[in-house]
Amino acid sequence: MSFPDTSGHLSDERALHFRSMCCFIVPPGVLKKYSRDPGVDAATRKSLQDTYLETERLRGLREAHRIATLRDPERFLAGAAVHVPQQHLFDCMHRKGLPGKAVAAPAGGFKTVFDTTAKVVEFYKTVLGRNSVDNKGFDLASSLHYSKSYDNAFWSGSQMVYGDGDGKLFGEMYLSPDVIGHELTHGVTQNLSALRYEGESGALNESISDVFGTVFNQWLNNWPVTEPRGWLVGAGIMAPPAQAKGFTCLRDMVQPSAKHCLSPQPELYSQLDPTADVHENSGVPNKAFATFARAAGGQAWGNAIKVWYDTCINRALRSDATFSEFAGLTIASALKFGGATLQAQCRSAWNEVGVVLPNP
Ligand SMILES: [Zn+2]
């Protein structure tokens, strides 16, 4: 079986479908690469290939939500009535129908997802002053055991979905708290700037999810910015055989190109391929944030995340923003939260990854 050719000869509708990716934690390139790796056993290769094909099928789900968001002029406002977000859990029982069968009394993995999701809601509320993903108390639905040996987790545009992993490369996808924070943050971005999921705006969309996912994990574990584990994306979803090969994470925000990343990324703006997958180009803004937060010191859920969140809720952040435009907004926000010192640290972080800043 070959992979679908997404490079050309598509109808306009089909081309739009392929450009507007669903927000998965594992990049399609990684699934594709290891599904063809002779060093990987046949059953795992099949799981990776099935996940890749399913990932392609699901790409279009989010675009309708994104367009609807852009048509809602009140998306930046909190709801008048304060609704406390409720959670709903579902069991897909290894099938692909969503959301699956309702789970009344969560236990085991369902309990883990329930508890971690509740912590993300608490993080949004206490650190960012935000009421769930839409700031209006959006109820959160999570489906587990999606498909068979499914090597991904994703935000569908309206809910979270987790696969069990193949057990060789990936384990259960909810085991990394940062993955849950990452995916729910796609819901936040969808409700704010609705950054288009391609090119630089797509890489920013991905990076914002990595930033809030990792800072949520640091907050959960009370890790300071100096703790290296706090900057890893997906450390908890790497299966023991992958760890034995030296892969400790999907991505590392401090060292995006390091060998211990299953999905290494370029670290400098000049090294980027503008046509590459959004998960590849997100390493540059990821490193800019990690560099900024580490220079600011203390805990990343202090001023550093507040500067990034202030940028995310800024109406000036366009849905097709470039790295340079986003960087300019963070530098303006840094002045608000920490004066000239924090602003200089922010500017220096973007300089380090080679993003050319807009004229003041
Ligand atoms: Zn993502």
Region 56-81: mean pLDDT is: 61
Residue 154 C-alpha to ligand 1 middle, in angstroms? Answer: 7
Task: Please give the Cα distance from 268 to 252 (Å, whole number).
Answer: 14
C-alpha 9 chain-centroid distance: 30
Region 20-26: mean pLDDT is: 69
Q: What percent of the chain lies above the pLDDT cut of 90?
A: 71
pLDDT at 359: 78
Is the pLDDT at 16 greater than 60, yes or no? no
Task: Please give the Cα distance from 17 to 31 (Å, whole number).
Answer: 19
**SS3 labels along 111-137:** HHHHHHHHHHHHHHHHHHCCCCCCCCC
Options 3.40.50.2000, 3.10.170.10, 3.40.640.10, 2.40.50.140; CATH for 21-70+85-266 is 3.10.170.10
pLDDT at 64: 57
Q: What residues does 252 pair with on adjacent strands? A: 232
Of residues 63, 183, 267, 280, which has the active-site annotation? 183
If 0-12 CB within 10 Å is exposed, 13-18 middle and 19+ buried, where does residue 150 land?
Answer: buried
Residue 183 C-alpha to ligand 1 middle, in angstroms? Answer: 6
pLDDT, one tens digit per residue, over 241-292 is 999 999 999 999 999 999 999 999 999 999 999 889 899 999 999 999 999 9
Residue 206 C-alpha to ligand 1 middle, in angstroms? Answer: 5
Residue 174 C-alpha to ligand 1 middle, in angstroms? Answer: 14
pLDDT at 12: 36
Kindly indicate the confidence band of residue 191, based on its pLDDT and cuts at 50, 70 and 90.
confident
pLDDT at 79: 56
Q: Show the beta-strand stretches assigned E in 173-271.
A: 232-233, 251-252
C-alpha 69 chain-centroid distance: 18
Of residues 182, 206, 279, 325, which has the active-site annotation? 279
Between 352 and 74, whose confidence is greater? 352
SS3 call for 165 = coil
Q: How is residue 331 written in tokens? A: 């530098």
pLDDT at 28: 84
Residue 158 C-alpha to ligand 1 middle, in angstroms? Answer: 14
pLDDT, one tens digit per residue, over 194-203 is 999 889 999 9
Which 8-state DSSP code applies to residue 160? E
Is the pLDDT at 143 greater than 90, yes or no? yes
Task: Please give the Cα distance from 65 to 194 (Å, whole number).
Answer: 9
Kindly indicate the confidence band of residue 70, based on its pLDDT and cuts at 50, 70 and 90.
low
Kindly indicate the confidence band of residue 156, based on its pLDDT and cuts at 50, 70 and 90.
confident
Q: Which of 187, 204, 35, 42 is nearest to 124 (CA)?
A: 187
Catalytic annotation on 183?
A: yes
Residue 102 C-alpha to ligand 1 middle, in angstroms? Answer: 25
Catalytic annotation on 9?
A: no
